[in-house]
Structure 1
Amino acid sequence: MATSLQYIEFVCAQIKGVGEIRYKKMFGEYMVYVNNKPILLVCDNTVFVKKLADISKQMQAAQTGFPYNGAKEHYILDIEDIALSKEVIGILEEVILIPKSKKSQKNQKL
């Protein structure tokens, strides 16, 4: 079951105010970017975040799962807990880097 547009819009509404939010559809699922950084992975109407030590305290009670076949295990973020979601996103936004564009990577190879 792919993530519905209605659910991804709900996710974005829940985290309003954490920065510039946008989402991108990828293979029927979505990546949510905060300030151009890939922060949330939304698959099957479930919100996933990378299992990073920086958020282990906040996510200690969270369930874990695999967003898709072949993926590493992720935390499942309770997006309805707005305070927790914004706290986790705030931490991740500080430690996750903006991905390099394919165009700039291509130019570096030349």
Structure 2
Amino acid sequence: MATELSFVEYVLETVRLGSRMTYRKMFGEYALYLDEKVVAFACDNSLFIKPSQAVGRLAPDLPQGPPYPGTKDYPIADELLDDPDLLRRLIEETAALMPLPKPKKKPARTAVAG
């Protein structure tokens, strides 16, 4: 089941991180970014947080499951949608632990013979 855009908008509204938090659609689901770092996925209208030490400290009892077939289990943070302050803190701390995105390579230019 593909995630509805309204669910993603609800998550962003709940977390209240403004333009720092963005999303990109991929294969009917969504990757959620904070400051250009992937911090979560919205899959099947559920919120999957990237595994990190932040989850272990702030929400160690979250249920686990694969966001999509063939992947490892991720913490499922649906219950934290009722606790926006904790969810926001979890997302911010997860982002702090994630590496910066790799710079995109510019396409090589080819010389035009003339």
State the TM-score bracket (shorter-chain normalisation). Answer: 0.7 to 0.9
Give me the whole-angstrom Cα distance separating, in 1, the residues matched to 2:87 and 2:54: 14
For the residue of structure 1 that corresponds to 2:17, the secondary structure is coil
- Residue 15 of structure 2 aligns with an amino acid whose one-letter code is I
CA contact (8 A) 1:65 1:76 kept: yes
Higher Cα Rg, which structure: 2
TM-score, normalization by structure 1: 0.85
Gaps of 5+ in 1: none
Q: What percent of counterpart residues are identical?
A: 31
Number of residues paired by the alignment?
106
Report whether the alignment pairs 1:86 with 2:88.
yes
Gaps of 5+ in 2: 109-114
CA shift, 1:21, in A, is 1.3
Give me the whole-angstrom Cα distance separating, in 2, the residues matched to 1:54 and 1:45: 23
RMSD: 1.9
Are the structure 2 counterparts of residues 95 and 18 from structure 1 closer, same or farther at C-alpha, using a change threshold of 3 Å?
farther
TM-score, normalization by structure 2: 0.82
| 1:28-77 deviation line (CA, Å, top 9, x unaligned) | 00001111111111100000012222320212121111101111110011
